[in-house]
Amino acid sequence: MEPSMDEFVLFANRLADASGEAIRPWFRIKLDVTDKGTGRAGFDPVTEADRQAELVQRQLIKETYPRHGILGEEHGPEPGEDYHTWVLDPIDGTRAFICGMPQWGTLIALNDGTSPILGVLDQPVTRERWVGRTGRTDFVSEGRTTQISTRACADIASAIVTTTHPTGYFTKPESDAFQEIAAAAKMTRYGGDCYAYGLLAMGFVDLVIESALKPWDVQALIPIVEGAGGLFTSWTGGDAQNGGRVIAAGDPRVHAQALEILGRVP
């Protein structure tokens, strides 16, 4: 019998607990940082914390669901015999991590072969966790679990907009489109990586706009945003699970307005 969603949620929380234990000792200490030399932004850092946390997660998956596949940022793909695949990013926001900033997190997704059906965003230092599934997203902090939702936002002029970096991940046409939206918005903030999507799901941010992302950057975040009532698509309104140019919005009205601008980018 196939495990239930509740069983998968419990296991995803186990993965987050285990990776958090592996990561916390490395935070705000002097680390050896390796530049993987990939990605549009140039400097693409990885640390031993990234590698060890993903290895811990992989071992747990192999012990518990040996037929499932695994796709992780640091140790690559391991196809499974089952259609389920766990998609892992042990530290999304490594640049923030190595600077001692808390705007990063561990991303854990379960993809059923069609789309991500479960997502966890865990911040193991602040001990905050977002768990998203169909129809529901929970925020866990200080032992309390609260169901969260996005907020209403009628238009870009009313929106708080964010991206990880205003130029580092965008081409010139992409940056121009983002700046057009930013200029019209109520407020724009930079930084945050995955953490910004958690804030959107809680109703503190209205739009997150990014480019050049990978599957492990987004798959956990899609159920979190959508489970809270938001939208997570490509810049043309399509499926975002493979990364690339993505937009998350808390309200379909502001999402539609932003797509009018972003959809013009060649």
29 Cβ contact partners less than 8 Å away, ≥ 6 residues apart: none
pLDDT in tens, 152-201: 999 999 999 999 998 888 999 999 999 999 999 999 999 999 999 999 99
Q: How large is the average pLDDT for residues 235-246? A: 98
| pLDDT, tens digit (0-9, with 9 covering 90-100), for 198-228 | 999 999 999 999 999 999 999 999 999 999 9
Q: Which tens digit of pLDDT belongs to each residue from 45-70?
A: 888 899 999 999 999 999 999 999 99
Its pTM stands at 0.95
DSSP notation for 70-133: EEETTTEEE--SSS-EEEEEEEETHHHHHTT-S--EEEEEEE-SSSEEEEEEEETTTTEEEEEE
Instruction: Answer whether 129's CB lies under 8 Å from 231's CB.
Output: no
Output the DSSP codes for 172-231: HHHHHHHHHHHHHSSEEEE--THHHHHHHHHTS-SEEEEEEE-HHHHTTHHHHHHHTT-E
Sign of CA dihedral 49, 129, 227, 104: negative
Rounded to whole angstroms, how far apart are CA atoms 136 and 159?
Answer: 23
